[in-house]
Structure 1
Amino acid sequence: MTERRNDSAAWQAARQWQERARRARPSTAMSGPKLVMTWLLFGVMMILGTVIGLFFLLVGWLMLPLVRRRMKKRMEQMRADQATDIDEGFYADHRPGGTQQVLEGDYQVKE
C-alpha cells in the first residue's frame, strides 16, 4: 500500500512537471507569413552585406595603383637623400692623410 502511495505521488509529480513544461513553451508557432518575411529579411540583409563587401573590395583594388605610386615616390626620395648623405660624407672624410671613422674600426688612408 505504501508503494501505491509513492507511485501515485511520483506520477503526480511527473504530471505537474509536464504541465509546467507545457506552460513554459510558447503555445503559438510562428505563422507562415511571419516565417516567410523573416527569411526574406535575412536574405536581403545577406545580399546587401555581399554588395557592400564587393564595393569595398573594388575600391581597394582601384586604390592599389595610387598607393603603389606614392610608395614608389617615397622610396625614390629616401634613396636620393641617402645617396646625398653618403656622397657628402665620402668627400669630406677622404682627404689625403686624413682618418676615417667606419663601423669596423679606425683606418688611415695611405697615399
Structure 2
Amino acid sequence: MTQRNTRNAAWQAAQQWRARAAQSRPASLGGSIRLFFTWLLFGAMMIVALVLGFFLLLIGWAMMPFMRHKMKKRMDAMRAEQATDIGGGTYRESRRPQDALEGSFDVKDDSVNSR
C-alpha cells in the first residue's frame, strides 16, 4: 500500500504540503507571541468593522423617513405637472399627433350640429 501511494501525484503533493506546514510552525516563543498578537489585531479589526457597519446601518435606517418624505414630495410635484399638462387648453388644442388614431378623420364643427 505504501509503495502505491508514493507513485500517486496527489499523495506526494500532500506529503510535501505536510512537510512545509511542519517547518513553518512557530517553534520558539517569539513566533507564538507574534501569532497571538496577529490574531488579536485581526479580532480587533473585525470588532471595529462590525461596530462601523452597525453604525452605518443605523444611520441608513434613521435617514429612511427623510428620504421617503423627499421622494413623496417629488412624486407629488411630478403628478401636479402631469395634471396641468392634461387639463390645459381645449380638446382640439391639447391633441397631439401621438394621441390620434390611424386613419382619415373629419372634425365636425359644433355650430353645424346645433341647428
> Which bracket does the TM-score occupy, shorter chain normalised?
0.5 to 0.7
Instruction: Evaluate the alpha carbon distance shift between residue 43 and residue 28 of structure 1 in structure 2; reply closer, same or farther with a 3 A threshold.
Output: closer
**What is the CA distance between 1:86 and its match in structure 2?**
0.6
C-alpha separation between the residues in 2 aligned to 1:53 and 1:27?
A: 35
**RMSD between superposed Cα atoms in Å:** 2.9
Max Rg structure: 1
TM-score calculated relative to the size of structure 2: 0.58
Taking CA–CA contacts closer than 8 Å with sequence separation of 6 or more, which of the two structures ends up with the larger relative contact order?
Answer: 1
Runs of at least 5 residues in structure 2 that lack an aligned partner in the other structure: 1-18
% identical equivalent positions: 43
Aligned to 1:104: 101
- By percentage of residues, which structure has more strand? 1
Aligned residue pairs total 83
Runs of at least 5 residues in structure 1 that lack an aligned partner in the other structure: 1-20
TM-score calculated relative to the size of structure 1: 0.60
Counterparts of 1:25-104 in structure 2 under 5 Å? 29=27, 31-88=31-88, 91-94=89-92, 100-101=95-96, 102-104=99-101
C-alpha separation between the residues in 2 aligned to 1:55 and 1:31?
A: 36
